[in-house]
Amino acid sequence: MSSVIGIDLGTTNCCVAVLRDFAPEVIANRQGYKTTPSMIAITEDGKRIVGQLASRQRVTNPHHTIYASKRLIGRRWDDKEVQHALKHAAYQVIPGPHDDVRLMIRGEEFSVPEISAMLLQEMRVIAEEYLSEPVDQAVVTVPAYFNDGQRQAIRDAGLIAGLDVLRILNEPTAAALAYGFGKGDAKTIAVYDLGGGTFDISILELRGGVFEVKSTSGDTFLGGEDFDGRIIDHLCEI
């Protein structure tokens, strides 16, 4: 039976882990980093690059480098989050045939799940190179506030990447498990996640080893990248 990998498909970075000797191990990429930038770029000669190499293209090739696509996945064209993203994206974002969101890179049209699939495929390759075996099953984490459409879009991205997504796990639940909650008495805990692209907070209730999300809230445009943007805007005004 092949290994099942765990993937954190983040707005700014991705990472992949596997269970070895009953302990999770985060796998380093080819550059030796345990996180990989969530970026896809297509160079002038048509070469598609992912991760660290793509991040270098954001300055020299901004109109053909996709970043923070997680903010768009599973959303409709007229969603306020999409319209907000349009104001900040250097790449071209267009409406799709089903009121969905499409991204244009060098004249080629991609759906957001296709972009996410490229990132998932990169995580899969990193795991396969480390494990020296094929990998076709994964658990993927998502924000607790993701709706059914967004969760299905993640599953679709997994299929495109050749991965059977066995489970979509809420990110705060994954964080609580990582910190050792779930082994003791019933309790209620708060988990907040201030990432590169989003800020989320969830209230979890733990009873009998089962986590239940009681309440969740967040801001899709409150993260490290947004802080950087505000600082840049301020410096430009000085």
CA atoms within 13 A on the CB side of 123: 35
Domain boundaries of the chain, sorted by first residue? 4-180
Using alpha carbons, list the distances in angstroms from residue 124 to 112, 120, 176, 195. 18, 6, 25, 23
Confidence of residue 64 (pLDDT cuts 50, 70, 90): very high
pLDDT in tens, 88-103: 899 999 999 999 999 9
Query: Which residues are marked as active site?
Result: 8, 70, 171, 193
Confidence of residue 182 (pLDDT cuts 50, 70, 90): low
Average confidence (pLDDT) over 200-220 = 89
Closest CA to 168 of 149, 154, 147: 154
Mean residue pLDDT of the chain comes to: 93
Average confidence (pLDDT) over 39-65 = 94
CATH code 3.40.50.1240 for 4-180 = no
Instruction: Give residue 171's pLDDT.
Output: 92
Confidence of residue 147 (pLDDT cuts 50, 70, 90): very high
Instruction: Give residue 231's pLDDT.
Output: 95
Q: Alpha-carbon distance 112 to 116, whole Å?
A: 6
pLDDT in tens, 99-125: 999 999 999 999 999 999 999 999 999
